[in-house]
Amino acid sequence: MMASVDCEDIMIKKQLLEFAFKNWKAILIVALCLVITAKSRYDYNLVQKAYEVQTESVTAQIEGLKEIHKQEIRKKQLLMENHMETIAAIEEDYEDALQMIEEIREDKKNEYRNNFNSNREQLIKDIEEKFGIQYVP
């Protein structure tokens, strides 16, 4: 019984070798296709990992840029508030100056009216000095 099993094993091996020698090209093509498929999957996985790493990197860069943008907006707002406060102070000073000029103008008008009514010669002198003209009566 052992001999028949050995004989059958030998026959099967012989048939396999004959099949392999007859179809070696097809077997080689199938083996190469399997190698190419395995290599393609390996390369695809590498590309997929590189894509994921790049996506994470871009996401991190975008988050960093968003934070920088927020900081710049805060700085601009602070500068704008400071600028507005400065403008308000300048406008207040301007209004005070206008009011002071108006008061001085009213004082001068009143002085000239008084001079016109009481001291015309002083008014004439003031006009001559101010405008560089000579009064001719």
Model pLDDT for residues 29-84, shown as the tens digit of each residue = 999 999 999 999 999 999 999 999 999 999 999 999 999 999 999 999 999 999 99
Residue 9 or residue 137, greater confidence: 9
C-alpha 124/C-alpha 116 separation (Å) is 9
Is residue 128 a contact partner of residue 134, using CB atoms and an 8 Å limit? yes
Q: Which pLDDT does position 4 carry in this prediction?
A: 64
Torsion sign (Cα): 121, 123, 126, 129? negative
- The token pair at 84 is 């507005």
C-alpha span between 126 and 36 (Å, rounded): 110
Neighbours of 36 (CB within 10 A): 10
